[in-house]
Structure 1
Amino acid sequence: MTNSELIDTLAEDLRLTYGCHTAILYGSRARDDWDAASDIDVIAFRDAGDQQRVASRWNGVFLDLFVHSTNDTVEPGWIRINGGRVLFQADGFGDKVLRETKALFDAGPEEVPAAELLVRKVWAEKMLERAAKGDVEGNYRRHWLLCTLLEDYFAARGEWYLGPKRSFRALSETAGEHFGLFEAALKPDASLAAVRAVIDVTFKGV
């Protein structure tokens, strides 16, 4: 089944199985930079029924579906759908959701106070010290720290964090040196000094 056929089949399923009047495809399948391992990301709306999250293997691919009520309003978690594509809609509802989401995205995230950034920096340094233990807990904290640092990197700069794929792409295109630091620190055999370098660049000036 081609990607187009998959999406058409999903649209029909959303109408019949979930009673949705609007659906928006987002993520790699909407941007057309997907590969065989990419999932299908969809947000859909219906007039009746509770919110529903569906995460399952569907027709051979992973489906990540969020079903919302018509009355639900755009909130920061929805920025992931910015730039999405309407699959079907009632009375322009999908276009309206995308317009409101774009306005939220363009306004940027709430500024993280300097005091909060300092707390996050101290936390990162504490985690690095515990990672130095080298035991199972230390190794866990090392991975936890690296995942959090990517989010904090964008938060410290007043930018949205858009997940690892888009975030690393943005870094490679606009801050190649910083991308290189993350790339080095995320290698399985990376030194703690490499992780320290990521902490320093993430909280530069804090």
Structure 2
Amino acid sequence: MANVTIIGAGNMGSAFAGVALAGGNAVQVLARDADKAAVDSRVSAGVVGDPITGDVVILALPYPALADVLGAYAGQLDGRIVVDLTNPVDFATFDDLVVPADSSAAAGIAAQVPGAQVLKALNTNFAATLATGLIGDATTTVLIAGDDAGAKATFAAVVDDGGLTAVDAGSLKRARELEALGFLQLTLAADEKISWAAGFALVK
């Protein structure tokens, strides 16, 4: 079992806390407000800036909040698995991503925390599909991109043990495709072409 820290207690952070707890993992949740971090009686709740206890750290944050959080934990993420679930959408226009076309939010994080094993995952999932474990009749699929095979295996075990299906999506270079897919899914939901409980599933 893993020791998981989730930074952010919004819908995604709360939903993934449930997944991690279902798999028997120890879970710490950190938020700006300690009361909001108490998403479940089984989690260790605290505020951003408190020491991180997890070997797996989930950045369950809006993309614009990343810089402050990474700054607050400068040097403390070395040796840890860092999972980026952000979609770097330009919310002013809702018509583009704010990272270069040949890069990704995850690549930017990897450059800022070179001592960590950075993964891109969960950004193609809505919180409801994490909480229910279903997309339609299919088990929720979590696509994982990263360069460290051991880090991917550790995080995949958290996902699988929590009742979801982890799929290795390739190297961290694939993060840009995952972010494009996440962006497409967001625009479809915002335009009410799919519900916020829907999403893309892999059927083998």
Do the two structures share a fold, i.e. TM-score over 0.5?
A: no
More strand per residue = 2
More helix per residue = 1
Give the TM-score of the pair, scaled to structure 2: 0.28
Bigger Cα Rg: 1
